[in-house]
Amino acid sequence: MKNNKLEVSAIKDGTVIDHIPADSLFKVVSILRLDHLQGMITFGTNLPSKKHGKKGIIKLSDVYFQDKDINRISLVAPEAKLNVIRDYQVVEKKDVEVPDDIYSIVKCDNPSCITNHEAVPTRFLVINRKKLKLRCHYCEKITDKEHMVIL
């Protein structure tokens, strides 16, 4: 326990996003647009993890997420855990969930889809949560986990 505290310092109030696969850390930053935030943010990556080999962690002071916003990271960090911190204490723990609709995160796998030819924000309906199968709102073709590219 002591070691963990040394690696990434504790925050007073805010959110800790833990158990991010190390190679998805910067995707999470981009999906949540954390580069636009003004407050204090601490990133840790390549930390040892029992589950993932190496994990990433993000600590955000004075930032709290709506479920619908945080669920946007479920495609790249399905096992991420959210800790809501108030006065150094974890007051709530949350898992991320795959939402029903996915907006502007994933590229459509169909090269003939209009979204790959014109500046159309992508939009998908999640038709299988477990296997992560998405149906494009435009071309109606399926993009699945193996072919998923994050924009």
Alpha-carbon distance of 77 to 139, in angstroms, equals 26
To other proteins, the closest distance from the beta carbon of 150 in angstroms equals: 20
User: What are the beta bridge partners of residue 130?
Assistant: none
Out of other proteins, Zn ion, none, which partner does residue 118 contact, by CB within 5 to 8 A per kind?
other proteins
Is residue 110 at the binding interface for other proteins, with CB under 8 A as the rule?
Answer: yes
Is residue 137 at the binding interface for other proteins, with CB under 8 A as the rule?
Answer: yes
**Which residues fall within 8 angstroms of residue 30, CB to CB, at 6 or more apart?**
150
Out of Zn ion, other proteins, none, which partner does residue 6 contact, by CB within 5 to 8 A per kind?
none
Among 5, 50, 117, 130, binds other proteins (CB under 8 A): 117
Is residue 113 at the binding interface for Zn ion, with CB under 5 A as the rule?
Answer: yes
Is residue 38 at the binding interface for other proteins, with CB under 8 A as the rule?
Answer: no
Among 84, 120, 139, 150, binds Zn ion (CB under 5 A): 139
Cβ contact 60:14 at 8 Å: yes
Nearer to other proteins, 69 or 103 (CB): 103
φ/ψ of 79, rounded to 5, equals -105, 15
Specify the 3-state DSSP secondary structure of 6.
helix
Number of residues that bind other proteins (CB under 8 A): 16
Nearer to other proteins, 74 or 115 (CB): 115
Residue type, 99: P
Q: Is 88 left (phi over 0), alpha (psi -120 to 50) or beta?
A: left
